[in-house]
Amino acid sequence: MAGKNKSISSQAKAVAERIHCLRDYLDLLSEHGQFIKWPEAVMPEPDIRKIAVASGRDSMGAPAIMFDNIRGYPGRRMVFGVHGSFSNIALLLGYPKGTSIKELFYELIGRWGSDKPLIDRIKAEDAPVNQNRIESDINLYDVIPLYRVNESDGGFYIGKANIVSRDPLDPENFDKQNVGIYRIQVHGPDQFSLLSVPSHDMAHMIRAAEAEDLPLKIAVMIGNHPAMAMFAATPINYDESEYGYASQMMGSPIQLTTSGNGLDIQAGAEIVIEAELINNKRTLEGPFGEFPGSYSGVRHVPLFKITAISHRDNPIFENIYIGRGWTEHDTLIGLNTCAPVYSQLKESFPEVVAVNALYQHGLTGIISVKNRFAGFAKSVALRALSTPHGLMYLKNLIMVDEFVDPFDLNEVMWALSTRTRASDIHVIPNMPLVLIDPAAEVPGKGHRLIIDATSFMAPDPVGADSKLVMPPSGAEIDELARMVQELQRRAEKS
Partner 1 sequence: MSCPRCQAEEKHCRLEHEGREAGEIIWKVFYCQRCAFTWRDSEPTESIDYEKRDEWFQVDPDQPDQYPHNIPPAKLHKNK
| Residue positions annotated with a catalytic role | 290
Minimum distance between the CB of residue 73 and partner 1, rounded to whole angstroms? 6
Instruction: For the chain, give percent helix, strand, coil, nearest 5.
Output: 30, 25, 45
Residue 185: CB minimum distance to partner 1, A: 8
Nearest to 44 by CA among 159, 156, 184: 156
In the complex, minimum distance from the CB of residue 279 to partner 1, in angstroms, rounded to a whole number: 8
Give the nearest distance from C-beta 82 to partner 1 in angstroms: 25
Q: What number of other Cβ atoms are within 10 A of residue 460's Cβ? A: 14
C-alpha distances out from residue 252 to 12, 93, 118, 175, Å: 10, 12, 6, 19
CA nearest neighbour of 363 among 429, 241, 449: 449
Count of residues of this chain found to bind partner 1 when the rule CB under 8 A is applied: 48
Q: Least CB distance from residue 198 to partner 1, whole Å?
A: 6
Polymer length of the chain: 494
The residue from 14, 211, 428, 477 that contacts partner 1 (CB under 8 A) is 211
Q: What are the phi and psi torsion angles at 215 (to 5°)?
A: -75, 140
Minimum distance between the CB of residue 147 and partner 1, rounded to whole angstroms?
8
Q: Which is nearer to partner 1, 81 or 155 (CB)?
A: 155
Binding mask 288-327 for partner 1 (x = CB under 8 A): -------x-xxxxxx-------------------------
Among 154, 244, 251, 365, binds partner 1 (CB under 8 A): 154
Indicate which single residue of 83, 187, 361, 419 sits in contact with partner 1 (rule: CB under 8 A): 187
Closer CB to partner 1, residue 80 or residue 147?
147
* Residues 59, 335: Cα–Cα separation, whole Å: 13
User: Closer to partner 1 at the Cβ: 18 or 71?
Assistant: 71
Q: Which of residues 70-89 bind partner 1 (CB under 8 A)?
A: 71-74
Q: Nearest CA to 86 among 259, 344, 386, 335?
A: 335
The residues in 263-282 that bind partner 1, with binding defined as CB under 8 A, are 279-282
Cα–Cα distance, 1 to 289 (Å, whole number): 32
> Per CB under 8 A, does 287 bind partner 1?
yes
Verify binding: residue 207, partner 1, rule CB under 8 A.
yes
Among 11, 27, 33, 189, binds partner 1 (CB under 8 A): 189
Find all residues with CB under 8 Å of 111, minimum gap 6, and list them. Answer: 3, 6, 8, 248, 249, 251
For partner 1, give the closer residue by CB, 226 or 302: 302
118 φ, ψ to 5°?
-115, 110
Residue ranges in 45-64 that form contacts with partner 1 under rule CB under 8 A? 45-46
Evaluate whether 287 touches 298 at the Cβ level (below 8 Å).
yes
Site string for partner 1, 9-48 (x = CB under 8 A): ----------------------------------xxxx--
Strand order of the sheet with strand 445-453? 352-359, 364-369, 396-401, 445-453, 425-432
Name the minimum Å distance from CB 215 to partner 1.
Answer: 14
Q: Which stretch binds partner 1 (CB under 8 A): 15-23, 55-63, 100-108, 145-153?
A: 145-153
Told to check if 141 binds partner 1 by CB under 8 A, we report yes
Instruction: Give whole-number Cα distances, 379 to 216, 352, 376, 426, 475, in Å.
Output: 45, 12, 5, 12, 30
β-pair type (119-121, 254-258): parallel
Q: Where do contacts with partner 1 occur on this chain (CB under 8 A)?
A: 43-46, 71-74, 139, 141, 146-148, 151-152, 154-156, 185-189, 195-198, 203, 206-207, 210-211, 213, 279-285, 287, 295, 297-302
